[in-house]
Structure 1
Amino acid sequence: MTTARELDERYGRTGRRPLPWIIGGVLAVAVVVFFGWTTVAKQMNAVDAADLGFTVVDAHSVELSFQFTAPRGQDVACALEALDVEFGVVGWKIVEIAASDEHTQAMRVSIPTVAEATTGLVKSCWVA
């Protein structure tokens, strides 16, 4: 007659230990939480900018309107560009904006150019 222990040994049911599975599960959850938090922390300090329009003033300047969304109470800097017909950079400017309690702000900035520009745009913005 076959005993329960012999059947367990025959079919590999001996020595099952749930501890390694529990440890593995806890580590997997910890890794997911860590990467989730780092993603959220990066987005909390992100600055988003959008072009609203531009006006070519003359052959040596273009006026750019844009808005940006940034964390409250943080200084922000934006790189602005003026481009010509062939999308070559003919002017650029770094604008530093003081900290504000507003989450979204609109700006209008004049960019000096070395040739006539056909457009102006925000290249990027960041927390300064």
Structure 2
Amino acid sequence: MPAGSPTLAGRYGETAQRHTRNRWLLIGMGVFIAVVMIMWAIWGSGLGSKASQLQFTDTANNPIDAHHITVSFSVDAPAHTAVDCAVEAQNINFTVVGYDVIHLKPTAETHQVITKSLITYEPAVEGSLDKCWLP
């Protein structure tokens, strides 16, 4: 019997039908893995979530005296969404000498400009917005 005969192929499972089934099984598994990876990437990026629409920017800071500084910043968030923001003041050595968390209540406005006065325990030379997040 030659090596490529249909009798040997049938005996040891090397039929054209089995090759076709295996090929479709591999294609199906590849498509499933691709769909799972795409869904995971979309979920992980937060696409469409309110957090992905949150933007914030420092606008100004003004040292007032040895124990006070004002920090101004803007926040863009979806309407009717509460936002928390942390502001900090730093001294000449970049040590944080004042820190506060501001809780912005939900409003119909999507853009807000906030000015916060911080109390410091040392003279501050810089005030900045640390970060904002959805509570």
TM-score (norm 2): 0.77
- Pairwise CA distance, 1:5: 5.5
Q: Which amino acid aligns with 2:72?
A: S
Alignment of 1:27 onto 2:32: yes
Alignment of 1:109 onto 2:116: yes
- Pairwise CA distance, 1:114: 0.9
Q: Kindly indicate whether the alpha-carbon contact (under 8 Å) linking 1:76 and 1:126 is maintained by their aligned counterparts in 2.
A: yes
Secondary structure of the structure 1 residue equivalent to 2:75: strand
Match of 2:44 in 1: 39
TM-score (norm 1): 0.81
Alignment of 1:53 onto 2:56: no
Residues in 2 aligned to 1:5 and 1:69: alpha-carbon distance in whole angstroms: 73
**Structure 1 spans left out of the alignment, 5+ residues:** none
How many residues in Structure 1 have an aligned counterpart in Structure 2? Answer: 125
Q: Percent identity?
A: 26
Question: Which range moves more in the overlay, 41-50 or 51-60?
Answer: 41-50
Out of 77, 81, 89, the position equivalent to 1:82 is 89
- Pairwise CA distance, 1:42: 5.9
- Pairwise CA distance, 1:72: 2.5
Q: Kindly indicate whether the alpha-carbon contact (under 8 Å) linking 1:77 and 1:97 is maintained by their aligned counterparts in 2.
A: yes
Secondary structure of the structure 2 residue equivalent to 1:27: helix
**Structure 2 spans left out of the alignment, 5+ residues:** none
Residues in 1 aligned to 2:40 and 2:79: alpha-carbon distance in whole angstroms: 24
Residues in 2 aligned to 1:42 and 1:97: alpha-carbon distance in whole angstroms: 23
Question: Which range moves more in the overlay, 82-91 or 32-41?
Answer: 32-41
Residues in 1 aligned to 2:102 and 2:35: alpha-carbon distance in whole angstroms: 41
